Amino acid sequence: MLTYSFENLGGEKLYIHLYRCIRDDIVSGEIAPGTRLPSKRSFAENLGVSVITVENAYAQLISEGYLYAVPKKGFFAAALERGPVRERPAAPSAIKPEAPKYFADFSSNRTDPENFPFATWARLMRGTISAQNAELMANAPCGGVLALREAIAAHLYAFRGIESDPERIVVGAGTEYLYGLLIQLLGFDKTYALEDPGYRKIAQIYESHGVGYRFVPMDGDGVRPDALRESGADILHISPSHHFPTGIVTPAARRYALLRWAQEQPQRYIIEDDYDSEFRLTGRPIPALQSMDGGGRVIYMNTFTKSLAATIRISYMVLPAPLAERFYARLGFYACTVSNLEQYTLAKFIAEGHLEKHINRMRNRYKWKKDRILGQMERSGLFRVAETEGAESGLHFLLRVHTGEAPQAIERRALQEGVRITCLSDYRHAPPDRPEPAFVIGYSSIPDDRIPEAVERLARAVLHSKTP
């Protein structure tokens, strides 16, 4: 008769232990297919456990298909198809490896979390909970609650010159989610054109959805229309108001050229990613491409992760009217992925003017931080061998270095100094013909008290190889 030990169970229930022992013997072949197992009573007596323990173990084995019962005959081992058996994985470690720590991370584009308006947000959230119980428990439309879409529409008209019916606005938890919806809406047979250089995650998103994409080279004005036509793409994905990582602002002439490209074929569209347009630090914000579009070919996208906080995963897109109708007809079964509480809170935050005040405050703050970094670069001697590009808008700029040294060597020395920077060439699909001594400098998350030392460390890494 089968015999198993019940010592040192470590708190595991008896029937679970017995179930595992029998299951492992069946899987290993120790108990051959068709073998009759002992009756519940005799087995319990032999093992020194209760009949209930054996009964529960047998019941679990039967439910998983390791045993089968024959009336008036007993319990039998099932025949298993033999194939590769996955070994039981080791228990995951409770301690996860920490991310590398840097004295300063200029590669990060995260906004400063210390400036989030916690008190205002908490007050609005409490008010929403107490006054809108019914709305909070209702199923939100797939495009998001109407109050938030109305608030976004008013905000876009006031600050970006975009006129939009709230019904054309779709809210979702992050732009990555909205990209997935767009792919379904536009069709998996479409080919997408991406900026080169560009934000690497965009290509990863399209690739994960199995759609075709092409990288289109840029010049000083943005995506080249001739290369765009040669790509055979149907959809163009761009950031014309502040390109990442170069900082290029696409001028009006090039914008109209891209709009003409979209108008040439009936199924061509432009996805305008306006990710940090609020933070142009000099002059007025650049008008959105969508505000110039008279043919309904621009899909406008933006997010509150930059203007508020990275952890507030609320993004939205503005669809041309025909696409909005198609969206609700084809994809209206999707549930909105942002909680009602967050949506109503954000709606009040916008409608009561708190977003405008916060953006103005943060724009001043980031301008101060950028000016301090540039001033420190001047004092460190960096500008004897380097220059900046695109520092007037957005939360990053380019630092071009003229020492004649490979940028990877500078990047390695910076890491030795505890400073992380990223080469511009890392964002290119096709490697440049010659080394490109340019680095993307994101400054939004650098602590104020670390700015002088961070720049000094960066300067040491760059000036190390400077020839007299």
Taking the C-alpha atoms of residue 217 and residue 340, their distance in angstroms, rounded to an integer, is: 41
User: What one-character-per-residue DSSP string does 283-323 give?
Assistant: SSPPPPGGGG-SSS-EEEEEESTTTT-TT---EEEE--HHH
pLDDT in tens, 382-422: 999 999 998 877 789 999 999 989 999 999 999 999 999 99
Residue 180: closest CA among 153, 210, 152, 200: 210
The pTM of the full predicted model, rounded to 2 decimals, is 0.79
Three-state secondary structure call for residue 398 = strand
> What is the predicted pLDDT for the residue at 88?
53
Taking the C-alpha atoms of residue 122 and residue 141, their distance in angstroms, rounded to an integer, is: 25
Q: In sequence order, what are the residues at sequence separation of 6 or more whose Cβ sits closer than 8 angstroms to the Cβ of residue 95? A: none
Scanning the structure block, which residue is given the tokens 């173990």?
Answer: 57
> What is the predicted pLDDT for the residue at 433?
74
Taking the C-alpha atoms of residue 348 and residue 396, their distance in angstroms, rounded to an integer, is: 30
Q: Taking the C-alpha atoms of 278, 282, 283 and 286 in order, what is their torsion angle to the nearest 10 degrees?
A: -40
Domain formed by 104-108+358-463, architecture: Alpha-Beta Complex (3.90)
Beta-sheet pairing, 212-219 with 191-196: parallel
> What is the predicted pLDDT for the residue at 86?
55
pLDDT in tens, 40-62: 999 999 999 999 999 999 999 99
- At 467, the pLDDT band (50, 70, 90 cuts) reads very low
Sign of CA dihedral 60, 63, 68, 74: positive
> What is the predicted pLDDT for the residue at 427?
92
The C-alpha angle 297, 176, 350, rounded to 5 degrees, equals 75
Q: Name the residue with higher pLDDT: 274 or 114.
A: 274
Q: How many CA atoms lie within 13 A of 327 on its CB side?
A: 24
> What is the predicted pLDDT for the residue at 157?
92
Look at residue 95 and tell me whether its pLDDT is greater than 60: no
Map out the domains of the chain as residue ranges. Answer: 14-77, 104-108+358-463, 116-352
Q: Are both 14-77 and 116-352 of the same fold?
A: no
Over residues 67-71, mean pLDDT: 94
| Amino acid (1-letter code) at residue 453 | E
> What is the predicted pLDDT for the residue at 189?
95
In the chain the first and final C-alpha atoms are separated, in Å, by 89
pLDDT in tens, 149-174: 999 999 999 888 899 999 999 999 99
Taking the C-alpha atoms of residue 3 and residue 21, their distance in angstroms, rounded to an integer, is: 10
Structure tokens at 285: 């914000």
Q: Say whether the peptide bond before residue 197 is cis (omega within 30 degrees of 0).
A: yes
> What is the predicted pLDDT for the residue at 10?
79
Task: Give the whole-number percent of the chain exceeding pLDDT 70.
Answer: 94
Sign of CA dihedral 348, 284, 173, 440: negative
Residue 262: closest CA among 225, 227, 288: 225
Q: In sequence order, what are the residues at sequence separation of 6 or more whose Cβ sits closer than 8 angstroms to the Cβ of residue 241? A: 249, 250, 274, 277, 280, 285, 286, 288, 289, 393
Q: Say whether the peptide bond before residue 245 is cis (omega within 30 degrees of 0).
A: yes
pLDDT in tens, 186-207: 999 999 999 999 998 999 999 9
Q: In sequence order, what are the residues at sequence separation of 6 or more whose Cβ sits closer than 8 angstroms to the Cβ of residue 106? A: 419, 420, 421, 422, 439, 440, 441, 442, 443, 446, 454, 458
> What is the predicted pLDDT for the residue at 159?
86
Q: Give the count of beta carbons closer than 10 Å to the beta carbon of residue 103.
A: 14
Domain 116-352 matching CATH 1.10.150.530: the answer reads no
Taking the C-alpha atoms of residue 49 and residue 45, their distance in angstroms, rounded to an integer, is: 7
Structure tokens at 395: 């939360």
Over residues 16-45, mean pLDDT: 93
Backbone angles phi, psi at 467, to 5 degrees: -85, 140
Taking the C-alpha atoms of residue 211 and residue 205, their distance in angstroms, rounded to an integer, is: 9
Domain formed by 14-77, architecture: Orthogonal Bundle (1.10)
CA distances from 409 to 224, 383, 420, 434, 464 (A): 31, 19, 13, 15, 10
Structure tokens at 221: 């004005």
> What is the predicted pLDDT for the residue at 91?
54
Taking the C-alpha atoms of residue 405 and residue 285, their distance in angstroms, rounded to an integer, is: 37
Look at residue 468 and tell me whether its pLDDT is greater than 50: no
Structure tokens at 15: 């029937």
Look at residue 356 and tell me whether its pLDDT is greater than 60: yes
Question: What is the pLDDT of the chain when averaged over all its residues?
Answer: 90
Across-strand partners of 132?
none
